[in-house]
Amino acid sequence: MESQKSRRSFLKDCAKMGGTCCTLLACRQLLPAEEGLQNVKPIDLAPLSYCGIPCVKVCPLYKATQENDVKMKKVLYERQEMKKKFGLDFDPDKVVCYTCKPGDKPKKVGMDTCPVRTCALANEVESCVQCSNLEACEKEYWKKWPGQFAATKSIQSRYRTQPGAVIKEGKSR
């Protein structure tokens, strides 16, 4: 039994690291290849999630939702332990992701309890990239996903240099 627990723990850690690597690679496209690069496209915050992930490029559940891939939704439902975390029985119409800015579309399960999303909405920022307190933020989310935290801070660093960048005073929540 103990070896199964270790293996499960190992696989979870590997999945987290893989997700972090994918996020960093996707976010790399938002950063300039060199400092002083003249023709760098300005960062558009609209397609970024509140935590800075470009979900439309990297989120497998977003992709499965767009393609209505029931098999992939089932795999992700199990991998993300949605039954255990949220008490949700598998239903392909409820296992969805339209990013954390879904507009009039259904919200992903658990989205209302995301501390990063809650804080961003309360502080009226389009992404944590706009928050003046990002560097000092100590939310558990960032501790769980340190690679994403580093990527979001890098995006903010570049965002601050572009004309018209709006950095707002964030109130920690």
Please tell me the predicted confidence (pLDDT) of residue 42.
83
Please tell me the predicted confidence (pLDDT) of residue 76.
94
Other C-beta atoms within 10 Å of 136: how many? 9
- Rounded to the nearest 10°, the torsion over CA 84, 104, 133, 116 is 0
Are 133 and 97 in contact by the 8 Å Cβ rule? The answer is no
Tally: H helices and E strands in the chain? 8, 0
Average pLDDT, the chain: 84
Please tell me the predicted confidence (pLDDT) of residue 6.
74
Average pLDDT over residues 99-105: 91
Ranges of each domain in the chain: 1-30+110-173
- Angle at the Cα of 22 from the Cα atoms of 59 and 105, rounded to 5 degrees: 10
Q: Which residue has the higher pLDDT, 5 or 58?
A: 58
pLDDT digits (tens, 9 = 90+) for 105-136: 999 998 988 999 999 999 999 999 999 999 99
Closest CA to 129 of 66, 65, 46, 41: 46
Are 62 and 80 in contact by the 8 Å Cβ rule? The answer is no
pLDDT digits (tens, 9 = 90+) for 35-73: 454 556 788 898 899 999 898 889 999 999 999 999 999
Please tell me the predicted confidence (pLDDT) of residue 43.
87
